[in-house]
Amino acid sequence: MKKIAIALAAGLGLAVAADAQAQGNYPQRPITMVVPFAAGGPTDVIARIVGEHMSHTLGQQIVVENVAGAGGTTGITRASQAQPDGYTIMMGHMGTHGAAPALYPNLKYDPAKDFAPVGLAAGTPILIVARKDFPANDLKGFVEYMKTNGDKVNMAHAGVGSVSHMTGIFFNSVIKAKPTMVSYSGTGPALNDLMGNTVDFMTDQIVNVAPQIQGGNIKAFAIATPVRSPVLPNVPTTKEAGLDGYEVSAWNAVFAPKGTSPEIVKKLNDALVKALADENTKKRLLDLGGVIPSDAERSPEALQKLVETEVARWTPVLKAAGTKAQ
Ligand code: MLT
């Protein structure tokens, strides 16, 4: 009996040693970063910008995998169920890890319990944008048009619970309008239709729409932040444009599945923090109007706290707006 116990202990010891070594040598192969929306949208763009520099630090390629659907919850559900070995991470955000519980009664994950938070990647102010030839030239005119033409106006979004969806229904509840909602696999494709004049407007993250506003391909009525963005100095804030009660900025953050070891989370967080300190990476995010997290905002603990406060913040707002995923 004693021999079996010794053999088992030895085996266990070897397993623990092997696991410790694997973590110590992590990463040994490419890492998949799940982006829960179509390529080309804000979540994808932020993932690729920070992922590129993280790859240098980690010495292994971070490979983005776009898994769209259900406002981002399809991709996040899949990534949350991956092996917690550090080889699958994900780019979540204010929708997938803030709004989703209020909108998906049968959500297959708890944003505050089912992840190992890695760190905040970028803040993304929200803009109210419309197709170039929309028959309104300022926010006041747009709101009046929305109030009188309601369901004839089409609002694009990236699925129930996405940032574009939640900030859109928040906007509609503030101005008391009910546009027709048009769902996309991401606001990358939605922006194409906005530029093609086949959808009317959306509320979207600055990193997606800033280049097209600067290029005059879509119009921006306002930015939903207290102050203007340095990359869009001519776009008024919602307050300046005469709309009170609509200020909102989104955020995008890296998560790993629950159970990922603290050693691996630390390596991932170190790589993310180094990316945000890298001048070129910072410039790419800032040039798109992104907001670089402060030092205090960059830790896994800070992200955990953010998720908890955001779920608590958005649940009553979205329930009051009365929207539920099918
Ligand atoms: C959203 O929540 O609207 C997404 O960020 C859109 C996207 O990334 O495509």
Dump pLDDT digits (tens) for 104-137: 999 999 999 999 999 999 999 999 999 999 999 9
Instruction: Say yes or no: 90 and 16 in one domain.
Output: yes
Question: Do both 21 and 92 map to the same domain?
Answer: yes
Q: Are residues 132 and 118 in the same domain?
A: no
Instruction: Indicate whether 116 and 256 sit together in one domain.
Output: yes
pLDDT digits (tens, 9 = 90+) for 45-93: 999 999 999 999 999 999 999 999 999 999 999 999 999 999 999 999 9
Residue 297 falls inside a structural domain = yes
| pLDDT at position 319 | 84
Confidence (pLDDT) at 2: 75
43 Cβ inside 6 Å of ligand 1? yes
17 and 111 housed in the same domain: yes
Dist. CA 324–CA 239, nearest whole Å: 29
Phi and psi of 138, rounded to 5°?
-150, 175
* Domain match, 60 and 150 both: no
Distance 113 CA to ligand 1 centre (A): 23
Same domain, 117 and 12: yes
pTM: 0.93
Asked if the structure places residue 242 within a domain, the reply is: no
State the DSSP string of 178-219: -PEEEE-S-HHHHHHHHHTTSS-EEEEEHHHHHHHHHTTSEE
**Residue to mutate (ligand 1; options 34, 37, 76; most atoms within 8 A of CB):** 37
Give the domain range for residue 298. Answer: 2-122+252-320
Clarify whether residues 118 and 162 are in a common domain: no
| Burial readout 249-268 (b: 16 or more C-beta within 10 A, e: otherwise) | bbbbbbbbbeebbeebbebb
Structural domain count of the chain: 2
> Distance (Å, rounded) from C-alpha 146 to C-alpha 154?
10
204 and 263 co-located in one domain: no
Q: What percent of the chain has pLDDT over 70?
A: 96
Structure tokens at 89: 């991470």
With cut-offs at 50, 70 and 90, classify the pLDDT of residue 326. very low
Average pLDDT, the chain: 94
